[in-house]
């Protein structure tokens, strides 16, 4: 197996954890917590998911950058004249948005989480989940020719 294929395999495995975990949080945990106006279930999930989810995101970034630099030299990424550079730049934008939202939630919202501001965290969760699905759509879209 080539190193590109190995990196792609880890990239897709990381995607199942990152995107799958957020879908479970957004669709399986969050609605009940909002209904009961209780942050406890969300906090419990976040604490457990962080231990697996953050390493998965780091794997995504490292394998993603390896795949991207193998497909196109970084100096050409902003040219956007082919599907690979378009996918790479969109993914870097999605990554920046993910980091900004996650940092804001972790540093500003979660430490002071109460029933009153649970809605603020909910919007962060929904936004990061939609972005995580967009990562998958762009990744698969590149492979099947949607970005041509």
* CB-nearer residue toward ligand HEM: 11 or 121: 11
Q: Estimate the crossing angle of helix 118-144 against helix 3-23, to 10 degrees.
A: 150
- Note the residue count of the chain: 148
Does 15 bind ligand HEM (CB under 6 A)? Our answer is: yes
The Cα 52–Cα 29 span in angstroms is 17
Site residues for ligand HEM, 57-76, by CB under 6 A, read: 57, 60-61, 64-65, 67-68, 71
The Cα 111–Cα 121 span in angstroms is 11
The Cα 147–Cα 23 span in angstroms is 25
Per-residue binding string, ligand HEM, 103-132, x by CB under 6 A, is -----------------------------x
Positions that interact with ligand HEM (CB under 6 A): 8, 11-12, 15, 18-19, 57, 60-61, 64-65, 67-68, 71, 87-88, 91-92, 95, 132, 135-136, 139-140, 142-143
């Amino acid at each position: 197996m080539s190193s590109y294929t190995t990196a792609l395999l880890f990239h897709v495995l990381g995607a199942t954890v990152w995107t799958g975990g957020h879908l479970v949080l957004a669709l399986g945990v969050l609605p009940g917590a909002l209904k009961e106006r209780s942050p406890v279930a969300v906090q419990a999930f976040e604490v457990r998911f962080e231990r697996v989810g953050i390493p998965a995101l780091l794997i995504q970034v490292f394998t993603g950058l390896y795949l991207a630099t193998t497909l196109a030299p970084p100096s050409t990424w902003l040219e956007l004249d082919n599907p690979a550079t378009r996918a790479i730049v969109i993914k870097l934008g999605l990554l920046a948005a993910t980091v900004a939202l996650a940092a804001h939630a972790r540093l500003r919202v979660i430490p002071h989480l109460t029933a009153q501001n649970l809605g603020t965290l909910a919007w962060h969760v929904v936004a990061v989940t939609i972005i995580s699905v967009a990562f998958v759509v762009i990744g698969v879209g590149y492979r099947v020719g949607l970005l041509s």
